[in-house]
Amino acid sequence: MLLPFACIGEKGCLQRLAFLHYNTTLKIMSLCVPNLVEIRDLHFDYGERPILSGLHMDFPRGKVVAVMGGSGSGKTTVLRLIGGQLAPKSGSVNVAGQIVHTLDTEALYRLRRKMGMLFQHGALFTDLTAFENVAFPLREHTDLTEELIRDLVLIKLQAVGLRNAAQMKPGEISGGMGRRVALARAIALDPELIMYDEPFAGLDPISMGVAANLIRNLNDALGSTSILVSHDVHECFAIADYVYFLSAGTIVASGTPAEMLASSHPYVKQFVNAEADGPVPFHYPGKSLAEDLCLRAPQ
C-alpha cells in the first residue's frame, strides 16, 4: 500500500515528496504496540569476554533514542544484535514483534528491509556516485522501474540537500557531505527503524549541526524510530527523546536529556562534563608506578 509521506524541503519545511511503503497490517499494529524494538535480559559475550550483561531497553515508535557511553562500552554491539548480525548468549531482541535471533535467513532479510543503517564514517561505495549509492538498496530490494528509482533517489538527495551533487563520487565531496549521502541511502526504503552508528564522528561543528538536524527532522517526517549510537553529548541531547548510558556492558543510567544533565550519577556526571577522572579512571588498571619502578615506601 503506497501512502504519501512528508520529507525535508529546500527551506526546511515539511513537503509531500515521495511514497512511504507501509504494510496496512504494520500500520494498524503501530497504533497498538508502543515499542518498535524491545530488548529483554540481553547477555552477549565475545568468546570468554562478556560484552553486554542483562540489558533491558525500549525503543518507542516515532522517537529518537540515544545509546551513549565510552569507547568499548558495547554500543555498536547493540546495533549488531538488533540487525541480526550477532546472536545473544541469552535474552531476546524483539523488532516489530519478531525475535531477531530466531529468524531464518529469508525472514531476517525481510525484517532488514524495514531497517536503515548509517554506518560509521558513512561506508559509501567509493567507485559509485552519490546517485548510485542511494539507488543501490532500491535496486537490490525492489522491482521498481529505473524511472521511478531515479525520481526516488533525487527526492532522497533533495531531503539531505545534495540533489545537485548526485553525479559526484565520495572522493569528490567533503566528509560531512558524504555522511549526508549515506543518510539518504539509509532512508531509501523508507524504513520503520533507522540506526546510526557514530554519525557525528570526524565532522566539523557545522556538519555536526546539519547532521543532527537532519536526523531529527527526517525521523519526524518519516514517522520512523531512530537509534542513535554516539558519544557526542551536545548533538545527542539536542535531538534525542530519551538516552541510555552504557558502561562496561550494562545500563548505568537512563532518562530524558534534561534528566541526564541534572543527574548526580558519578558516571553520567563524568561523561557529560568530560571529566578526566571518575568511575572511568584516567590510568589503565594494573600495577602502580611505584611497583613498576621497584620503589619501596619508607619504613
Contacts of 37 (CB under 8 A, 6+ apart): 57, 58, 59, 82, 93, 94, 95, 193, 225, 227
Give residue 22's pLDDT: 37
| pLDDT (average), residues 69-77 | 83
Share of the chain above pLDDT 90, in %: 38
CA distance 70 to 211: 21
The C-alpha cell that represents 10 in the structure block: 529546500
| pLDDT (average), residues 76-105 | 92
Rounded to 5°, the CA angle 130-200-232 comes to: 170
Report whether 243 contacts 255 (CB < 8 A). yes
Residue 15 — pLDDT band, cuts 50, 70, 90?
very low
Give residue 278's pLDDT: 66
pTM for the model: 0.79
Residue 42 — pLDDT band, cuts 50, 70, 90?
very high
| pLDDT (average), residues 17-21 | 40
